[in-house]
């Protein structure tokens, strides 16, 4: 029933609090034109596909029922698959840890991959107040490096 209601009210088209937090954390390490393109790409995400057990989230910018690739917001680094950043999350005061990789494909933010699954952290982010987290972020790729 929850899946049906989520689909009906567009929950699968929005970023979760955890996804938003991770993308915002990477954004804090970017500057200039790359930060602007990051913001434009994140804002344009209108479909999120989540794999079972919270192991991966894939992002799409859909138009007319098909993925849309606006070249004006693409990163100069248009490698076929590009590991953009690695993050480590720790729920403060608990032994819970999560390793995360954020990937781009052909110049567009495409996925977040979780080692071990993200469900516990998704629930912690939805608590009131949200659980306190320590997030370490390492940029791995240069999105400004032209590859074409």
Give the 3-state secondary structure of 113-139: EEECCCHHHHHHHCCCCCCCEEEEEEE
Return the H-helix or E-strand segment holding 19.
helix 17-27
Give the dihedral sign, CA 25/47/115/125. Answer: positive
pLDDT of residue 13: 74
What is the mean pLDDT of each successive set of 10 residues along the chain, which is 148 residues long?
46 84 98 97 96 95 94 97 97 93 98 92 90 95 88
Is the pTM value of this prediction over 0.75?
yes
Beta bridge partner(s), residue 148: none
Tokens 């999560």 locate to 98
């Amino acid at each position: 029933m929850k899946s049906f209601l989520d689909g009906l009210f567009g929950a699968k088209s929005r970023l979760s609090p955890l996804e938003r937090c991770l993308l915002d954390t990477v954004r804090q390490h970017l500057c200039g034109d790359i930060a602007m393109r990051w913001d434009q790409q994140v804002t344009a995400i209108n479909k999120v596909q989540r794999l079972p057990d919270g192991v991966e989230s894939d992002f799409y910018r859909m138009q007319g029922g098909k993925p849309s690739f606006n070249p004006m917001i693409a990163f100069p680094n248009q490698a076929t698959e590009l590991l953009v950043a690695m993050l480590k999350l720790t729920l403060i005061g608990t032994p819970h840890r999560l390793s995360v990789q954020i990937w781009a494909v052909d110049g567009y933010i495409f996925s977040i991959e979780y080692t071990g699954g993200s469900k516990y952290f998704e629930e912690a982010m939805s608590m009131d107040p949200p659980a306190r987290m320590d997030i370490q972020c390492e940029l791995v790729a240069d999105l400004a490096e032209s590859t074409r």
